[in-house]
Structure 1
Amino acid sequence: MQQRKKINFECQNIYIGIDVHLKNWSVTTITQSGYKKTHSQNSSARELFEHLRKHYPGGKYLAVYESGFTGFSTYYALKEYGIDCMVIHAADVPTTQYESVMKSDSMDSDKLAKALKTGTLKGIYVHRRENLDARGVVRLRKTLQTQLGGYKSRVKHLLYNNGIVFPKCFAGKSTHWSQRFMRWLREDVILLSSTRTSLDLLLDQVELFRKNLLNATRQIRALSRSEHYARTYENLTSIPGIGMLTGMSLLTEIDDVERFHNEKQFASYLGLVPTSHSSGEKIANGEKTFRGNKLLGPMIVESAWTMIRHDSVMAAAYGEYCKRMKSQEAVIRIARKLSNRILKILRSGQKYEYDRCH
């Protein structure tokens, strides 16, 4: 009896679509010839590598998964085993109507593998491992700030529910949350009930989040002075409207400015490119797309409001825009101009030069 020849996929691409979950992965594998197989396994890069080495020995392994709760950890785990990997935005996966209404893990991994094989996928940028913690610190500060605002609102809501009237010395909102204001809340406020446990618990949370927010701010300031960021940070903050938080958010989110080939691509990343919807004779245009970095986009728009008060060229451009559109639309145009200047500063390594408004 003739002995079977050993399977060998040397110099062949093996396309792997992975639907990632916490405890298990659904994996679809397609060879160059179109042979397809789907299996379920534990969420382990090592286990997947052993499976591929056993069933597709010698092949070049190309994997793809959707960005999600695992972040880039799955990417780096697969890379350690020699599996080339792509991370994609979930909205960029080609999906038929049938696949959208008959969703399953195996179907998700199947369409990922098919799209990878046809070359229709475009991966998102994968941040370098050494910079992930810095980005996490800046993002965490934003989260702490949002949560702190939520607890402050709950405190005021509780005061209103209990008919508490603010003393005249706290009539202005600028006086709220000072040490004096907190002392008044702690010592003088009397609720409708004979106890005030709910208020004290909320105040404890306000103080805790303020402490954590201050610590996070100090950590970001230290990062801005570090050898890795100091020079670029100084150049970036020379732009009017770009302060410490916006500057460090830009540096940690962008990571490598060379990944942007032109100004339009950078503006698109920030979510500052216009939208266009046309059908027949109907054409609808918008100033700002919903896609883009959700942290940076609003920051750049906010910086644009500051810039038109300090740069005469930007101020003049804003005035011209306002002649034919609303101020909110005009400032988006200024934000796009600002994004061009940010990209130029990051690439040139020079400080910003502008005409000051006197």
Structure 2
Amino acid sequence: MQTQSTQFDFTGQKIYVGIDTHLKSWNVTVMMDPYYQKTFSQNANAKTLFNHLQENYPGGSYFSAYEAGFAGFMPHYRLMGLGIESIVVNPADIPTTGKEKVQKNDSRDSKKIARSLKNGELTPIYVPSLQTLADRSLVRLRKTIARDLAKTKTQIKSFLYCNGIDIPEELSKDNWTRKFIKWLTEMEIGPFRETLDGHLAKYHYFYAQKLDINRKVKALSVTARYRENMELLQSIPGVGYITAITFLTEIENIKRFKSLDRLCSFIGLVPSTNSSGGNERIGEITPRGHRILRDIMIEASWKAIGKDPALGATYSKLGHRMKPNKAIIRITKKILSRMRFVLNNQTRYELGYK
């Protein structure tokens, strides 16, 4: 007896998959031309999704998209490895209806992503290599440890102040020297000793961690992947090795920015604008951008105006007609222009260039 096969062949058809990612589950919407749509929930696993697509849409060409967020880029790599053309998108760039804004849920999110992917409305964000992701994680860990150490120092100072413990005059201007730590360790403070010892244990732990991570980041900066570009960037006044290695690991490839404006926009150094009826109002710097790079570049700019006479003069001139925080943004853009130039042209910066 012959049985009729119900297996469909989707060869040549495009299957669009919108994924709303969560820690333990994914909400998935599958769309095809002209009107097909299916939404379901599955465990957070790329292989599970691939098996579902293979079983239900064999032979199809699979395209997926999900929002950048806590999941990082690992789902993207795994989906690509299985033959699914994946993109990662900025949540703010996904077209959203008024109803979707006020009635937000996982199913609507995955449908919205699938619909926009199918309509060709999504612009993918740049996905770095796995090696760069690993390097970036190491550099970011240094920042986290430095922040933890600074927080612990503040807690110790607060503990001393709240309990009426005065720092000796000879140590008040040389905090966190060996003499200061020795004083903290040996002074008699009665029942508060145990608490202070706990704070000091945290301090010594984070201090050791900082020394270790600094060695690792320094070693990373002189590897073949970064050595030449590190030297180029550090030829620019104000750009130290931490600024340089952070920039390189966060950007990866400077050539993906076709203009300085695009680089500044990515970092978040462009003002918000409101244009209507022939009038244009320029607002504050948009909150959208790369906060890590924005912070470290502004910090480098403050250093640069003290090292580069031309930048110092420019900052002083700008200071006559705008607030310091706006003037330093102009300086930051100039430094970014120099960084982009030396990397694109593989030439050191010479003091006196604009």
Q: Same fold (TM over 0.5)?
A: yes
State the one-letter code of the partner of 2:344.
Answer: R
Indicate whether 1:128 and 2:134 are aligned.
Answer: no
Q: Secondary structure at the match of 1:121?
A: coil
The equivalent of 2:178 in structure 1 is 179
Output one character per residue of 1:217-244: Cα deviation in whole Å (capped at 9) or x when no partner.
1111101111111011000111110101
Q: Structure 1 residues 99-108 or 154-163, which shifts more?
A: 99-108
Task: Give the one of 280, 283, 287 matched to 1:286.
Answer: 283
Equivalent positions of 1:1-358 (< 5 A) are 3=4, 6-172=7-173, 175-190=174-189, 194-280=191-277, 283-286=280-283, 288-355=285-352
TM-score, length of structure 1 as denominator length: 0.93
Q: Could you tell me which amino acid in structure 2 is paired with residue 85 of structure 1?
A: S
C-alpha distance 101-309 of structure 1, shift in aligned 2 (>3 A): same
Q: CA deviation at 1:97?
A: 2.8
Q: Residues 47 and 318 from structure 1, CA distance in 2 versus in 1: closer, same or farther, beyond 3 angstroms?
A: same
Residue 329 of structure 1: how far off its partner (Å): 1.1
What is the TM-score with the length of structure 2 in the denominator? 0.94
What amino acid is aligned across from residue 308 of structure 1 in structure 2? I
Distance 1:229 1:9 in 2: 46
User: What's the % identity of the aligned pairs?
Assistant: 40
Letter in 2 for 1:185: L
Separation in structure 2 between the aligned mates of residue 340 and residue 34 of structure 1, nearest angstrom: 48
The one-character-per-residue Cα deviations of 1:141-168 (angstroms, maximum 9, x if unpaired) are: 0011111111111111111110011101
- 8 Å Cα contact 1:273-1:336 kept in structure 2: no
Equivalent AA in structure 1 for residue 19 of structure 2:
I
The CA deviation at 1:4 is: 5.9
Instruction: Give me the whole-angstrom Cα distance separating, in 2, the residues matched to 1:284 and 1:148.
Output: 42
The 1-side partners of 2:103 and 2:314 are apart by: 51
Does the residue aligned with 1:286 lie in a helix, a strand or coil? strand
User: SS at the partner of 2:306?
Assistant: coil
Matched-pair contact (CA < 8 Å) for 1:30–1:36:
yes
Tell me, what secondary structure is at the counterpart of 2:131?
Answer: helix
Distance 2:36 2:137 in 1: 41
Contact map agreement 1:11 1:59 (CA 8 A) in 2: yes
Which amino acid is 1:137 matched to?
L
CA distance in 2, matches of 1:50, 1:156: 57
CA distance in 2, matches of 1:300, 1:85: 32
Instruction: Give the counterpart letter for 1:323 in structure 2.
Output: H
Paired residue type of 1:346: L
Provide the C-alpha distance between the structure 1 equivalents of 2:316 and 2:345, rounded to a whole number of angstroms.
29
User: What is the rounded CA distance, in whole Å, between the counterparts of 2:82 and 2:206 in structure 1?
Assistant: 41
The one-letter amino acid of 2:351's match is Y
Q: CA deviation at 1:302?
A: 1.5
Contact 1:288–1:332 (Cα < 8 Å) also in 2: no
Q: Aligned partners of 1:281, 1:186: CA distance in 2, in Å?
A: 67
Check conservation: 1:287, 1:332, Cα contact below 8 A.
no
CA distance in 2, matches of 1:285, 1:200: 53
What is the aligned residue count?
352
* Structure 2: unaligned runs, 5 residues or longer: none
Contact 1:287–1:329 (CA under 8 A) maintained in structure 2:
no
1-side partners of 2:49 and 2:136: how far apart? Answer: 29
Counterpart AA for 2:45: S
Task: Identify which range, 307-316 or 83-92, moves more after superposition.
Answer: 307-316
Any stretches of 5+ residues in structure 1 without a counterpart?
A: none
Cα distance in 2 for residues equivalent to 1:171 and 1:316: 35
